[in-house]
């Protein structure tokens, strides 16, 4: 598995760097952890970073960002952008992509929307993300009471994250589902997946459908029979390991790279 390094950035942040076996020094991924914008950390997603590094062949960098409700939007997004701006000091000379799961996928996509026209990543890997605040979507209705993530929990996380900002639909960096077609068309190549038994499933399905209608070639995988957060269950769940494998294949296709020899 990947070896870990800790790099301190110029502004005192700790970047957790995972280097895969046989690393060629060419690719890197900035990974944003999930947790409803209000919990989890780089430490809780240590395994996810290692799996992603192994399956993509790229170095993966994780970090902590300020959490809601003490630090509502846009604090977490600003922290993500701050780390992105220092990426070449963390691992110089690489082509960079972004990735994230759940609320981290929301932040990763928000980063790409914010960075349009100046500093876009090479690609994006987005796992069962939060892209809308439509609590009446098909999956929110069907999976309202779980198992695992529920509609009530998501409502609470949105309240934590948005704080005093009442209109969640006006800012596409809050709800990327409200980005214009022009904004979505300008994104780098993306890979998206969704868990079948997840209140957020419709978020990814609807986003994938919009991207398809725009004529883009982004890959979308619906992972059957699993719940939200299943990629954190890699020690027990075969679908988790398979999901990282699929993501790795998609990454190498998007970046036109191959796994290093080990």
In 3D space, the residue among 238, 258, 261, 235 whose CA is nearest the CA of residue 248 turns out to be 258
Enclosing H/E stretch for 56? helix 46-56
> Which residues are the active-site residues?
102, 198, 228
Distance from C-alpha of 249 to C-alpha of 20, rounded to nearest angstrom: 15
In 3D space, the residue among 213, 205, 192, 220 whose CA is nearest the CA of residue 142 turns out to be 205
Planar angle of CA 162, 170, 64, nearest 5 degrees: 40
Distance from C-alpha of 151 to C-alpha of 140, rounded to nearest angstrom: 6
Planar angle of CA 162, 31, 154, nearest 5 degrees: 30
- The helix-helix angle for 238-255 and 46-56 (nearest 10°) equals 50
Distance from C-alpha of 62 to C-alpha of 49, rounded to nearest angstrom: 7
């Amino acid at each position: 598995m990947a070896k870990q390094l800790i790099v301190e950035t110029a502004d005192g942040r700790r970047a957790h760097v995972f280097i895969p076996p046989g690393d060629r020094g060419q690719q890197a991924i900035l990974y944003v952890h999930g947790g409803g914008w209000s919990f989890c950390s780089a430490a809780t997603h240590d395994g996810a970073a290692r799996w992603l590094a192994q399956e993509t062949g790229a170095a993966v960098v994780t970090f902590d960002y300020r959490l809601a409700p003490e630090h509502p939007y846009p604090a977490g997004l600003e922290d993500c952008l701050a780390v992105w701006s220092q990426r070449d000091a963390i691992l110089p000379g690489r082509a960079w992509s972004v990735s994230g799961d759940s609320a981290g996928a929301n932040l990763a996509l928000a980063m790409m929307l914010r960075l349009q026209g100046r500093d876009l990543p090479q690609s994006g890997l987005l796992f069962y993300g939060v892209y809308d605040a439509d609590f009446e979507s098909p999956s929110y209705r069907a999976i309202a009471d779980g198992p695992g993530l529920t509609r009530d929990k998501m409502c609470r996380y949105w309240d934590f994250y948005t704080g005093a900002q009442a209109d969640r639909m006006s800012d596409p960096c809050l709800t990327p589902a409200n980005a214009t077609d022009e904004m979505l068309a300008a994104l780098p190549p993306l890979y998206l997946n969704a868990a079948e038994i997840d209140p957020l499933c419709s978020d990814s399905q609807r986003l994938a459908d919009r991207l398809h209608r725009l004529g883009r070639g982004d890959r979308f995988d619906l992972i059957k029979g699993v719940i939200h957060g299943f990629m954190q269950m890699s020690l027990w769940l075969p679908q988790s390991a398979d999901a990282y494998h699929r993501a790795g294949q998609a990454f190498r296709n998007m970046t036109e790279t191959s796994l290093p020899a080990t």
